[in-house]
């Protein structure tokens, strides 16, 4: 399980997001510089212990109404080949040294562990506490016979969120994972889906409410 270091980050994750968020197609522009604050999230473990994986909830209060986003991070000790467009930035970690921070929706390790979570083969972890499962995060997949092993994936960002098309191994089945980048705390869709990942996100008064982070559909 991942160890959470109590140390300094330069720049901080939120400072990186201040410049990165406005460049994303799903960002709700306010005409002001974003003012992101961390308001929730959880972690997943990389079985190899090399990549840090965090699904952060951030609320931007720069506009007339707060907007809450989901940002999956990957933290790496070396650059990820072919992923320059997914780079959020670099930071200096007080214990681990330089870290390359990526949008995890484009990182194969993050996508593999997210799908393992959906398939019931990975356990969500507390965001800020080492070696501690997070029971507030739930996942399900109503597709018998699917294992967590992936053969390939393709990620597309759009104004309505991020779509990850995964191909499972060894049978080659395809599923579409839709990441809700703009979260709707407490207002989950009622449409049919093969699976979901649900975790807390804050209502306007700050109260956490179960919220859809990921919705899984069969690929046409």
Give the mean model confidence (pLDDT) for residues 186-204: 87
Please check whether residue 1 lies inside any domain of the structure: no
133 contacts 125 by C-beta, under 8 angstroms: yes
Bridge pairing between strands 174-179 and 195-202:
unpaired
Please check whether residue 97 lies inside any domain of the structure: yes
Please check whether residue 4 lies inside any domain of the structure: no
pLDDT tens, position by position, 71-106: 999 999 999 999 999 999 999 976 677 999 999 999
Which of 131, 78, 122 lies closest to 100 in space, CA to CA?
78
Total domains in the fold of the chain: 1
Question: Which residue do the tokens 């995060």 mark?
Answer: 137
Q: What is the pLDDT of residue 131?
A: 84
pLDDT at 220 over 60: yes
The rounded mean pLDDT for the chain is 92
Share of the chain above pLDDT 70, in %: 94
Number of helices (H) and strands (E) in the chain: give both, helices first.
2, 13
Q: Which domain holds residue 85?
A: 9-218
Query: Quick one: pLDDT band at residue 2, thresholds 50, 70, 90?
Result: low
Distance CA 79, CA 128 (A): 24
Distance CA 60, CA 99 (A): 24
Distance CA 208, CA 215 (A): 19
């Amino acid at each position: 399980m991942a160890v959470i270091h109590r140390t300094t980050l330069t720049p901080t994750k939120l400072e990186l997001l201040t410049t990165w968020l406005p460049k994303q197609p799903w960002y709700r522009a306010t005409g002001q510089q974003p003012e992101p604050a961390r308001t929730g999230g959880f972690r997943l473990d990389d079985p190899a212990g090399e990549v840090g994986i965090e699904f952060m909830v951030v609320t931007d209060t720069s506009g007339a109404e707060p907007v809450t986003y989901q940002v999956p991070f990957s933290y790496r000790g070396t650059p990820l080949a072919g992923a320059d467009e997914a780079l959020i930035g670099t930071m200096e970690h007080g214990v681990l040294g330089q870290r390359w921070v990526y949008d995890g929706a484009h990182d194969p390790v993050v996508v593999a562990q997210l799908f393992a979570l959906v398939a019931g083969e990975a356990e969500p972890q507390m965001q800020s506490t080492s070696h501690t499962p997070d029971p507030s995060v739930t996942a399900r997949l109503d597709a018998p016979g699917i294992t967590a092993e992936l053969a390939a994936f393709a990620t597309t960002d759009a104004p309505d969120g991020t779509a990850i098309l995964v191909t499972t191994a060894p049978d080659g089945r395809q599923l579409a994972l839709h990441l809700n980048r703009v979260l709707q705390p407490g207002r989950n869709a009622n449409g049919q889906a093969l699976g979901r990942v649900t975790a807390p996100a804050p209502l306007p008064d700050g109260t956490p409410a179960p919220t859809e982070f990921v919705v899984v559909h069969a690929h046409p």
